[in-house]
Amino acid sequence: MDICEIILDQHHQQRRLFAALEEFPRDDLDGLAAIWRQLETLLELHAEAEERYYYPELVKIGTGAADAESNVEQIGDALKDHNELRDAIGRVREAPTGSEAWWTAVIDANTTNSDHMAEEERQDLADFRQQASLELRHELAVRFLKHVAQHQGERVTAENVDPEDYIDDAAMSPRSDAELAASDKKAEQTPMRSSDDPDPSIKASDA
């Protein structure tokens, strides 16, 4: 498993559900409400899981990819997008299903999320593929999927985050369990060097 592929798969699910809403009969309010509940849960859990497992690792190892000015800039933009998406979701919840206010909020959520996914795929995910080990990508995928599965039936009410505080806290925090687990696996797979083997750190010219 790969956290980058898991995130991409969920992006595709989000796009399909927004498309389903747009094509669904406008007078079937029960159907619209049901599809939105499914989509809302996916959006909220996806953002929460990214902030819990994925972005803390990107803070530590990212360098900025594609058109991102820096790692801080690309992560800060992503977190601001999450906040704007949560705000739009809140407006959907407050409006009667199928009303003009409801559709306006749904479209706002779709626009914000579409822009966010495109930028994340172009910048953050590309950066993570370049910097993260396969072991770390696997460990994060396991934790991400477990969290989403455990909370699938719940309504997530995550609060907005301050991007600067989030990035500072993640940068100062110790290495995560996922990163340590990936490092341990890599160490286990590295053959032990016997005392008779030359130290690879010593150049032949230094011997």
pTM over 0.85: no
Q: Would 112 be classed as within a structural domain?
A: yes
DSSP string, 6-18: HHHHHHHHHHHHH
Q: Would 44 be classed as within a structural domain?
A: yes
| Alpha-carbon gap, residue 64 to 16, rounded angstroms | 29
Domain count, the chain: 1
Per-residue model confidence as pLDDT tens digits over 46-104: 999 999 999 999 999 988 787 878 888 899 999 999 999 999 999 999 999 999 999 99
Query: Would you say residue 183 has pLDDT above 60?
Result: no
Q: Would 169 be classed as within a structural domain?
A: yes
What integer pLDDT is reported at residue 176 of this predicted model? Answer: 60
Give Cα separations from 188 to 47, 183, 184, 192 (angstroms).
33, 9, 6, 9
Residue type, 170: A
DSSP 3-state assignment of 157?
coil
Query: Would you say residue 3 has pLDDT above 90?
Result: yes
What integer pLDDT is reported at residue 138 of this predicted model? Answer: 96
Per-residue model confidence as pLDDT tens digits over 134-178: 999 999 999 999 999 988 877 766 789 999 999 998 888 766 656
Residue-range definition of the domain harbouring residue 110 = 3-178
Q: Would 184 be classed as within a structural domain?
A: no
Q: Would 207 be classed as within a structural domain?
A: no
